[in-house]
Structure 1
Amino acid sequence: MRILVLGGSGFVGRSIAELAVERGDDVTVFNRGHATAPAGTRTVIGDRQTPTGLDALGDSTWDAVVDTWSADAAVVGAAARALHGRAGHYTYISSRSVYVLGEDRLVPDDEPGYAGDKRRGEQAAHAFGGPLLLARAGLILGPYENIGRLPWWLNRLRRGGPTLAPGPYDLPLQYLDTRDLAAFVLDAAATGRTGPYDLVSPSGHTTMGEFLDTANTVTGGRADLRWTDPQTILDAGIQPWTQLPVWLPPGPLHAALHQGDVSHALAAGLRCRPVTDTITDTWAWLTSLPGGAPQRADRPVVGLDPQTEAGLL
């Protein structure tokens, strides 16, 4: 296929571009030129936030477009309109955050923040006027992560010593390796799938215990995991998800983010690699970087400071 990736040098977009090249596709990456695109791609530089930013694409045509934009939906709409009639399929990388917490309905159009941006982005993408896939991804992990969740845990466990491990040990987790997301998106484009798909592993694909045990082993087995009751952690004022990435205590929020029904995506071909592969490959990538993991400027830095952790332990 001839594929256009809008983005393509960061986290998810880079995974999609790399896999497409590996499969033998002709891949064009469109970005602002702030980062190097994957080998084997053709880079077109432009700023899609400006009125003429998409002009650099010229009059080229593609079999499929993948749009990874996560901010102002007007940018998505502009790209979708500009590519109308010039591509056979359009994928917008959305998020399961578009759902009202714990309910099977979407957030309102005026919802502020990330959830609202993604929901409005979905609506704007319909301006493409052709086959449209809405890839509503859950928690995404794997190489190239620029949010910091798995990298923070890997670095913390590598440091070793007594380590706060949020329980319960058998707490089920849902996440998706960025490369498995890429595979689904490319396969869906090739077969013309349309509509929304919730893309995340089945609940319990791994557990908090397996997740941290595996990460500890991969990073050298230096950490002494101290499994701690959720209420003890909450009573100490430690914030789930942000100070302890990935983890949410049992309750409504955990049910919403780690116990979703993904049967629709599985039936459509979603496949999820073992957690060991995700963690091992992410650690190999992380240790190859001279300056540590990248961090998106529009996302908060995650992780628990050592003093707070030591105080609770």
Structure 2
Amino acid sequence: MHVLLLGGTWFLGRAVARHALANDCEVTTFNRGQSTPYLPGTLAVHGDRASADDFERLARYGPWDVVIDTSASDTAPRHVLAGARALAEVTDRYVYVSSVSVYRNWGAGPLTESSATYDTPADAGPEYYEGLDPAEQDGMRKAGCERAVTEAFGADRTTILRPGSILGPGEYIGRLPWWLRRCARGGEILAPREPDRPVQPIDARDVAAFAVSAPAGVFNVTAPRGHATMRDLLTACLDATGYQGRLVWTSEEVLARHGVRGRTELPLWPGTDGVVDVSAALAAGLTCRPLDRTVADTWAWLRDGADSVAGQQSGWERHGIAPDKEAAILAEVGLSG
């Protein structure tokens, strides 16, 4: 199979490239060539996805059986539309990696692929969602990109993947790396109740495998309900790092009183309450490895030096609670207990 990968240098894109190469695919990558070196065995084409001329030049390297787009997270829909149109005649199918953030009621109720999404035009530019909350901007942008790809390729040639939190070796956002490093530091560790609240993160390698083989259609791509809880996640972090710390489960009321921000100061909290339905993806071949394996492999990657270059860890500083703030909350919890 001939695969065109938009991206292919960081985290998920690199995982897709590795999986495709391991399964005897011929892989062409398209990116600016400014971050991680391309993988041996791939054909690297450099260009800017915001440039129509670069996409027209890229199209001359085709044809391909599938284009897998992992690099449009910050790209305006109109640029995705132009790129998809340039590739429509030389590619059989387009796989676009979107996000569960496209759902209007994300976090407020059960989500299936038919749940309401943002109604962003396929040709929208950045000005369409300027001034909005960053999370809403992200959802609107990705919804527009989904529409752009579908408009250019048609529904029967388009695969839309909507993952939630993606973890694993190579993670540049810094959520799981922060928890692992905090557990390795030991001592009393601030942990959010409820410990048995479900979480649905998925390993990048499992997303990558599904991206290469998924049929046309729209799929939520997270771990299934019942896969893991917050307790499972943090216990796995302690296990991987040698059990040097003790989890102190703290009520959400106390955390709120101290202004603790979910998803950043305590990454992956508050979880999802198991609201994302992934039955369609499971039926189409998605498999999810145990969360403790993802945690252990990520810790091994961190201990090996986190094989990255400039920019790979650009989001890490946004995650994790400051030690003095954590200590103050733990002291209050200890006094009240």
TM-score, normalising length from structure 1?
Answer: 0.91
Secondary structure in 2 matching 1:136: strand
User: Which residue of 2 is the match for residue 105 of structure 1?
Assistant: 116
Equivalent pair of 1:90/1:128 in contact (CA under 8 Å): no
**Code of the aligned partner of 2:51:** T
- What is the CA distance between 1:79 and its match in structure 2? 1.4
CA change 1:90–1:214 in 2 (3 A) is same
How well do the aligned residues superpose, as a CA RMSD in angstroms? 1.9
- What is the CA distance between 1:204 and its match in structure 2? 2.6
CA offset digits 1:105-133 (Å, max 9, x no partner): 11232555111110011011124325000
User: Which residue of 2 is the match for residue 16 of structure 1?
Assistant: 16
**Code of the aligned partner of 2:67:** V
Q: Does residue 279 in structure 1 map to residue 282 in structure 2?
A: no
Q: Point out the more displaced range, 49-58 or 132-141.
A: 49-58
User: Which residue of 1 is the match for residue 227 of structure 2?
Assistant: 205
Q: Point out the more displaced range, 31-40 or 274-283.
A: 31-40
Gaps of 5+ in 2: 110-114, 121-127, 331-337
User: Which residue of 2 is the match for residue 124 of structure 1?
Assistant: 148
User: Which residue of 1 is the match for residue 138 of structure 2?
Assistant: 114
User: Which residue of 2 is the match for residue 32 of structure 1?
Assistant: 32
Q: Which runs of 4+ in 1 moved over 3 A?
A: 290-293
User: Which residue of 2 is the match for residue 52 of structure 1?
Assistant: 53
CA change 1:135–1:300 in 2 (3 A) is farther
- What is the CA distance between 1:62 and its match in structure 2? 0.4
Equivalent pair of 1:295/1:301 in contact (CA under 8 Å): no
- What is the CA distance between 1:64 and its match in structure 2? 0.6
CA change 1:205–1:129 in 2 (3 A) is same
Match of 2:88 among 84, 88, 105: 84
TM-score, normalising length from structure 2?
Answer: 0.85
Equivalent pair of 1:167/1:229 in contact (CA under 8 Å): yes
- What is the CA distance between 1:178 and its match in structure 2? 0.6
Q: Point out the more displaced range, 162-171 or 282-291.
A: 282-291
Q: Does residue 73 in structure 1 map to residue 77 in structure 2?
A: yes
**Code of the aligned partner of 1:163:** I
CA change 1:281–1:56 in 2 (3 A) is farther
Identity %: 40
Q: Does residue 306 in structure 1 map to residue 328 in structure 2?
A: no
- What is the CA distance between 1:182 and its match in structure 2? 0.8
CA offset digits 1:7-53 (Å, max 9, x no partner): 01012111111100011110111110112122321111111222322
- What is the CA distance between 1:144 and its match in structure 2? 1.2
User: Which residue of 2 is the match for residue 142 of structure 1?
Assistant: 168
Equivalent pair of 1:142/1:279 in contact (CA under 8 Å): yes
Q: Does residue 243 in structure 1 map to residue 265 in structure 2?
A: yes
**Code of the aligned partner of 1:4:** L
Rounded to whole Å, the distance in 2 between the matches of 1:301 and 1:37 is: 27
User: Which residue of 2 is the match for residue 231 of structure 1?
Assistant: 253
